Amino acid sequence: MSPDARQIAAGLLGSVPFARTLGFELVEVTPDETGGVRAVVRLPDSPPAHNHVGGPHAGALFTLGETASGAVVLGTFGQLFDRAVPLAAQAEIRYRRLAMGAVRATARLGRPAAEVIAEFEAGTRPEFPVSVEIGTEDGEVTTEMTVLWTLKRR
């Protein structure tokens, strides 16, 4: 079953007002080889989101990456949200080079979705990484990020 990008965008932007404030756009949500989804979120070039050298602020890039990882979680595990609360437990980011202009974050699940669901169904609290590459619109990767998520039972 193909994910509904409009539904994911509405859920994500509806529940995360800060993502709306920064003007994020959910560009793509597609199935991937993990049994989850791949998500692409875009931050338009916006002077209020710039840093002192004219590129996207580090905080805006972090939020973009975390938001893209959240889109993966929503698109992959949303069917569990009546029983589970997704929580970002840890994040690591590496700013490799300055990005200029609009940027995109591409996020992917780091474990098979079926494993995570099986752990949750068995009564444990699974943890799973979501890897994120952030870069320019022409594809140059400028930032790498990993967000470790968990599903907490309601």
pLDDT in tens, the chain (154 residues): 356 778 888 888 888 888 888 999 999 999 999 999 999 999 999 999 999 999 999 999 999 999 999 999 999 999 999 999 999 999 999 999 999 999 999 999 999 999 999 999 999 999 999 999 999 999 999 999 999 999 999 9
Partnered with residue 128 across adjacent β-strands are 149
30: phi then psi, degrees, rounded to nearest 5: -135, 150
CATH T-level fold of 5-153: Thiol Ester Dehydrase; Chain A (3.10.129)
pLDDT at 101: 96
- Please give the Cα distance from 106 to 101 (Å, whole number): 16
Nearest to 60 by CA among 40, 44, 38: 44
* Bridge partners, 26 (sequence order): 41
Extents of the domains making up the chain = 5-153
pTM above 0.85, yes or no: yes
- Residue 101 gets the label, from left (phi > 0), alpha (psi -120 to 50) or beta, of left
3-class DSSP state of 38 = strand
